Structure 1
């Protein structure tokens, strides 16, 4: 749990540093990949080439009328380790999708698209399990 909070804190700093451009990429302090990545983001956020050990994903968050959030993208299993790469998402209106998308075995890529009304932010996580 502590590791996941630390990753979110690093990612939040990375997001803040690039928010003006509307593009965020995960920050990494160590050469090894984490086993999960999660970040809260709002309308217009774009995350390309997010990676964890065994998985990769890209997604963007858009809004219609400023309050109907939508997250769309893909998740891909990148390692033959018996685990699946997954994305889960939580909207600030209380709705969630766990998992939102799942990809396995290695080489499998799964697209996802989720719309939720009354939300302006979505916290999305890439992880393997």
Structure 2
């Protein structure tokens, strides 16, 4: 079944707008040590550094920094850390305008995807 041209145009525009909002709301970096980032989005900002070293012969990386809620909207600023290698992602949240939470995490390996979002 073919959709009418105007309906296809509306659906395509809705998909484009939706994709743009999602991309703007969740900057992420797939990073390998050493790496630093300081993303800012509407309602949140963060800064983090990934550092690596061997601990008893095992590659270990550390994520240090902070996340801050920058808007009184009832939502929380969230940094999600997803280490490569099958571990479950961890989150650090700051809830309430002006609230800043420190990030101090360590994992085995050398890479992770780190993402800032508002929830």
Question: TM-score higher than 0.5 here?
Answer: yes
Does structure 1 residue 85 correspond to structure 2 residue 77?
A: yes
Shift of 1:96: 3.2
**CA deviation string 1:78-107 (max 9, x = no partner):** 0111110000111112223332x1001000
Aligned to 1:70: 62
Q: More strand by proportion, 1 or 2?
A: 2
Aligned to 1:109: 100
* Aligned residue runs from structure 1 range 1-129, under 5 A: 2-3=19-20, 7=23, 34-48=24-38, 50-65=39-54, 67-99=59-91, 101-117=92-108, 119-129=109-119
Q: How many residues align?
A: 99
Displaced runs of 4 or more, over 4 A: 1-5
Structure 2: which 5+ residue stretches go unaligned?
A: 1-17
Query: Aligned equivalents of 2:83 and 2:48: distance in 1?
Result: 15
Q: Judge conservation of contact 1:56–1:76 (CA < 8 Å) in 2.
A: yes
Q: More helix by proportion, 1 or 2?
A: 2
Which structure has the higher relative contact order (CA within 8 Å, separation 6+)? 2
- TM-score when scaled to structure 1? 0.69
Structure 1: which 5+ residue stretches go unaligned?
A: 8-33
- TM-score when scaled to structure 2? 0.75
